Amino acid sequence: MHLIQENKCHGGYWRRYQHDSETCGCLMTFSVFVPAAAEEGKCATLFWLSGLTCTDQNFVQKADVESAAAEYGFIVVAPDTSPRNVGLDGEDLSYDFGSGAGFYVDATEAPWRSNYRMYSYVTEELYSLVADNLPMDPERTGVFGHSMGGHGALTIALKQPEKFRSVSAFAPICAPMSCPWGKKALAGYLGTDQENWKAYDSVALIESGAKVKTILVDQGDKDEFLAEQLNPELLKAACAEKDIPLTLNYRSGYDHSYFFIKTFIRDHVQHHHKMLNDVNR
């Protein structure tokens, strides 16, 4: 971990790091908010996964998470959304595939499989890097995200509920197998056999028996992507069928932007605080 930037904020620090990633085969960048509480011992930790086109800095500069994170003593980790500048043909041709659009999957198709392994990067390499170098409490670790990152947060929690013990999302791509963004990404990274897509589709995972204790989702009702891309009604139906408690808040007048996220980010931090400190978790 090579520190490239540090800014004091709400008594803690935003720190930006780079490291040579074995998983992605390139230099990767991520940011971490370390609260003042970290000086006294291990802290609960949240991994934030951003959406299409974002780097780690979109969340750092726009979400206003620091106040709540400092109050509740959370470390917050914000990785990039994909490998960068790895020299693959087509990596920069579109906003919804390639650079800035890793979709939190482990690609199996050439040429993407050599670098685009964001699922393993987040859940294994980055997780271990943070746990080994910062006062992270592995017993109190959660995941949340927005849009493509909301999809990533849901699928990661559903597949690894013992490692990521709380989950929430803003306007997630709930069923990527059923929307244009998801179909493009899953076909490109995983091939045309849709059986292989189910491992990265929240609704399909729930239908196959994956479970978490509870899910919090906030969705703006003026979101320009709601009808075509996000499909929260499919997540609601799947959770109801499999008895997974889901709080799905439709927020009147809110869109898909970080104005929406920053309005309700404290609610999400409070949700994770409650879940990760529940003695019966």
pLDDT tens digit sequence for 51-76: 999 999 999 999 999 999 999 999 99
- The C-alpha atoms of residue 37 and residue 58 are separated, in whole angstroms, by 25
Q: Which of these is catalytic: 56, 151, 202, 256?
A: 256
Q: What's at 25, amino acid-wise?
A: G
| Phi, psi torsion values for 169, nearest 5 degrees | -155, 150
What are the boundaries of each domain within the chain? 2-277
Q: Annotated catalytic residue: which of 223, 268, 271, 272?
A: 223
271 catalytic, yes or no? no
Q: Is 112 helix (H, G, I), strand (E, B) or coil?
A: helix
What is the band of 108 on the pLDDT scale with cuts at 50, 70, 90? very high
* Catalytic status, residue 223: yes
DSSP H helices in 135-220: 148-159, 180-190, 202-207
Average pLDDT (268-276) is 98
Give CA–CA dist 166/60, Å, rounded. 21
- Contact between 118 and 106 under an 8 Å Cβ cutoff? The reply is yes
Residue 99 has pLDDT above 50, yes or no: yes
146 catalytic per annotation: no
The single residue of 147, 166, 168, 202 carrying the catalytic annotation is 147
> For residues 49-86, b (16+ Cβ closer than 10 Å) or e, as one string?
bbbbebbbbbbbeebebbebbbbbbbbbbbbbbbbbeb
CATH T-level fold of 2-277: Rossmann fold (3.40.50)
Q: How far apart are CA 44 and CA 278, in angstroms?
A: 12
Categorize the per-residue pLDDT at 278 as very low, low, confident or very high, splitting at 50, 70 and 90. Answer: confident
